[in-house]
Amino acid sequence: MRLSDFDFHLPEELIATRPARPRSSARLLHAEGGTIADRRVSDLPDVLRPGDRLILNDTRVIPARLAGERRRAGSAPGEGVARIEATLLEPQPDGTWSALVKPLRKLRDGEEIVFSPALSARLEARDADDTARLRFNLAGEDFDAALNEAGAMPLPPYIAARRPADARDREDYQTVFARRDGAVAAPTASLHFDAPLLEALESCGISFTHVTLHVGAGTFLPVKVDDIREHKMHAEWGQVSARAAEEVERTRRDGGRVIAVGTTALRLIETAGRPGRLEPYEGETDIFITPGFEFRVTDGLMTNFHLPRSTLMMLVSALMGAGRIREIYAHAIAERYRFFSYGDSSLLIP
């Protein structure tokens, strides 16, 4: 298939820059079989069945966006200073962090960037595409505390281009069940869940299983090839515990549906489920789901609305069928659903 097969026109005013409040008041497009219904996320207890199981990604977004200054040694007062922005991507085995650094050309190897009175980093190496390896002056809990003080939430480019991150995003861009630090982007379908909704679902016989996939900045990378078979998918670290695998397999044996909340949860359980049953898993996944993919664990998906020409449009097209997804997205645009990370959601059940 060609990249153009996953394109559509989205009116710019439908891109959400703030989430719905309360979280569960967001709209929900429910597409099941050949039907489409316009609902609210708070309607999920009436839509799902007793015995269904939701797969929730419990990754926690770190405040990975940093702004600082490079102060060049030996320069006159007021000179040799450059503003540097860094978005942390992932820690490396040697103790450095891979980071997107801009403008990288203004840094020499070995130079220091000061982000706050407590936090600084030295440029150790350069990788491709403006990425670099930074070695911070702190580690462990000291680093976590300093990063929490100096960093900002790494909002997606389509939000960051319209407004800077602020204090509200510390809460809004984090799920209520986030547990494990490591993501630099939120599993956005999960942002719609709040405590009252979780309680209502549980009281209706809906079960939850937590898995972890640390969402990386690669989730926002554009597809640059016309033949999608040539696209190289980014890798992300994930874990499915033995308990999680057993819970899911028990639900399948009992006839319940397994519904992934978010494309991150879906990609992880399909990676761990390649043998035909969900098995414990820990490691990186670069699974690329496109039309023709055989789903072995997932019965349905709750997900926000995705960017045109993106790998996530390919994933939902694989689940529902490319023609069906075009119908769903045309309906969403006509009905003025809000799109992308802070937007409304959909429940897709083939």
Q: Based on the domain organization, do 36 and 140 belong to the same domain?
A: no
User: What CA–CA distance (Å, rounded) separates 103 from 119?
Assistant: 19
Q: 214 lies in a domain? A: yes
Q: Based on the domain organization, do 51 and 100 belong to the same domain?
A: no
Q: Based on the domain organization, do 42 and 115 belong to the same domain?
A: no
Instruction: Indicate the number of domains in the chain.
Output: 2
Q: Based on the domain organization, do 287 and 248 belong to the same domain?
A: yes
Question: Which amino acid, residue 258?
Answer: V
Of 97, 116, 150, which residue constitutes the final position of a domain?
A: 150
Kindly give, in sequence order, each residue whose CB lies less than 8 Å from that of residue 313, ignoring residues fewer than 6 positions away.
6, 306, 307, 325
Q: Based on the domain organization, do 93 and 213 belong to the same domain?
A: no
Domain that holds residue 300: 3-61+168-349
Of 124, 150, 176, which residue constitutes the final position of a domain?
A: 150
What predicted TM-score, i.e. pTM, was given to this entire model? 0.93
Tell whether omega for the bond before 19 is within 30 degrees of 0, i.e. cis: no
Question: Which amino acid, residue 349?
Answer: I
User: What CA–CA distance (Å, rounded) separates 344 from 303?
Assistant: 9
Question: Which amino acid, residue 255?
Answer: G
Tokens of 93: 């085995």
Q: Based on the domain organization, do 143 and 191 belong to the same domain?
A: no
Q: Based on the domain organization, do 78 and 106 belong to the same domain?
A: yes
Q: 156 lies in a domain? A: no
Q: Is 262 helix (H, G, I), strand (E, B) or coil?
A: coil
Q: Based on the domain organization, do 249 and 211 belong to the same domain?
A: yes
CATH number at 179 reads 3.40.1780.10
User: What CA–CA distance (Å, rounded) separates 152 from 155?
Assistant: 9
Q: Based on the domain organization, do 100 and 31 belong to the same domain?
A: no
Q: Kindly tell me the burial class for residue 248, based on how many C-beta atoms sit within 10 Å of its own C-beta (0-12, 13-18, 19 or more).
A: buried
Residue 346 burial (CB count, 10 A): 27
Of 150, 177, 206, which residue constitutes the final position of a domain?
A: 150
Cross-strand bridge partners of residue 88? 99
Helix axis angle, 311-320 to 263-272, nearest 10°? 70
Q: Based on the domain organization, do 328 and 270 belong to the same domain?
A: yes
pLDDT tens-digit map of 76-126: 666 678 999 999 998 998 999 999 999 999 999 999 999 999 999 999 999
Q: Based on the domain organization, do 262 and 131 belong to the same domain?
A: no
List per-residue pLDDT tens for the chain, 350 residues long.
899 999 999 999 999 999 999 999 999 999 998 999 999 999 999 999 999 999 999 999 999 999 999 988 766 666 678 999 999 998 998 999 999 999 999 999 999 999 999 999 999 999 876 689 999 999 999 999 999 999 999 999 899 999 999 999 999 999 999 999 999 999 999 999 999 999 999 999 999 999 999 998 877 778 989 999 999 898 999 999 999 999 999 999 999 999 999 999 999 999 999 999 999 999 999 999 999 999 999 999 999 999 999 999 999 999 999 999 999 999 999 999 999 999 999 999 99
